[in-house]
């Protein structure tokens, strides 16, 4: 079935709730969408409002340094019926944070659908939609970061044409990271 990107919605929320019960799942959105099942069902509208809100978001690294993302969006990867994964896009914020830690984007596929080709399929849509918005905001390339041991993420970034931009042994107490540059 064809997949596309959609804004988080009440229609897809039941499938998202199933997905987060399948095992470890992180939206790769700097924690801002990772509420627990109990928290979400307490107020579904509040959760959807929060994760669709593009205003500034702060994130603290292990050494206490705090950084802001000032323009961001979260998309859900879907086949129209099921939540398949998450695709956060970060267009602007503290540059050293984006360049050394989180990059402009990330991707997470739900646990039951890992390693079935959905990540690669979602890339095309990420470029069409996220790439176009990023270009309109003046970005010439996007950065994607990955943990050195995360082979799936490395392969996915290579599929996207990513070229190594920077590597470091840790940033503000966070783990070593590889940061790739993907030209739009
Ligand atoms: C990274 C991630 C999004 C890839 O999505 P996916 O749908 O599982 O990946 P695909 O099935 O499209 O495969 C993409 C490539 O990764 C490889 N791959 C997938 N899972 C793998 C694994 N566990 N170990 C090694 N390689 C793996 C695939 O073989 C493929 O490479 P190939 O074309 O050379 O064979 C997914 O693993 C994930 O959600 N991980 C958890 C969150 C995360 O770490 N995100 C990355 C941070 S940006």
The CATH number given to whatever domain includes residue 64 is 3.40.630
- Any domain includes 147: no
| Closest Cα to atom 23 of ligand 1 | 152
Summarised one tens digit per residue, pLDDT across range 127-142 is 889 889 999 999 999 9
| Span from the CA of 154 to the centroid of ligand 1 (angstroms) | 8
Summarised one tens digit per residue, pLDDT across range 139-177 is 999 999 999 899 999 999 999 999 999 999 999 999 989
Query: Does residue 64's CB lie within 6 angstroms of at least one atom of ligand 1?
Result: no
| Closest Cα to atom 40 of ligand 1 | 108
- Any domain includes 39: yes
Q: What is the β-pairing status of strands 66-78 and 57-60?
A: antiparallel
Domain that holds residue 26: 4-139
CB 181 within 8 A of CB 163: yes
Which pLDDT band holds residue 60 (cuts at 50, 70, 90)? very high
- Any domain includes 76: yes
| Span from the CA of 91 to the centroid of ligand 1 (angstroms) | 23
What's the pLDDT at 105?
Answer: 95
- Any domain includes 114: yes
Summarised one tens digit per residue, pLDDT across range 78-99 is 999 999 999 999 999 999 999 9
| Span from the CA of 112 to the centroid of ligand 1 (angstroms) | 13
Q: Which of 27, 34, 77, 115 to mutate to test the pocket of ligand 1 (most atoms within 8 A of CB)?
A: 115
Query: Does residue 112's CB lie within 6 angstroms of at least one atom of ligand 1?
Result: no
| Span from the CA of 17 to the centroid of ligand 1 (angstroms) | 22
Looking at the structure of the chain, the number of domains it has is 1
- Any domain includes 62: yes
What's the pLDDT at 127?
Answer: 87
| Span from the CA of 150 to the centroid of ligand 1 (angstroms) | 8
- Any domain includes 144: no
Place of tokens 């050293």: 96
What's the pLDDT at 10?
Answer: 98
- Any domain includes 60: yes
- Any domain includes 163: no
- Which runs of consecutive H residues, i.e. helices, occur in the chain? 13-19, 37-42, 44-51, 95-97, 118-125, 132-136, 151-159
């Amino acid at each position: 079935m064809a997949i596309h990107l959609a804004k988080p919605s009440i229609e897809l929320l039941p499938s998202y709730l199933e997905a987060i019960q399948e095992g470890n799942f992180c939206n790769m959105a700097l924690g801002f969408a990772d509420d627990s099942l109990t928290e979400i069902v307490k107020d579904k509208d509040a959760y959807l409002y929060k994760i669709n809100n593009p205003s500034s978001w702060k994130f603290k690294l292990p050494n206490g340094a705090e950084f802001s993302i000032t323009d961001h969006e979260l998309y859900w990867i879907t086949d129209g019926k099921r939540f398949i994964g998450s695709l956060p896009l970060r267009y602007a914020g503290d540059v050293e944070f984006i360049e050394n830690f989180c990059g402009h984007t990330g991707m997470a596929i739900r646990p039951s659908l890992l390693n079935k080709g959905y990540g690669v399929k979602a890339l095309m849509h990420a470029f069409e939609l996220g790439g176009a918005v990023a270009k309109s905001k003046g970005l010439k390339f996007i950065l994607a970061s990955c943990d050195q041991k995360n082979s799936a993420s490395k392969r996915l970034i290579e599929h996207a044409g990513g070229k190594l931009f920077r590597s470091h042994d840790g940033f503000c107490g966070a783990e070593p990271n590889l940061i790739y540059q993907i030209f739009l």
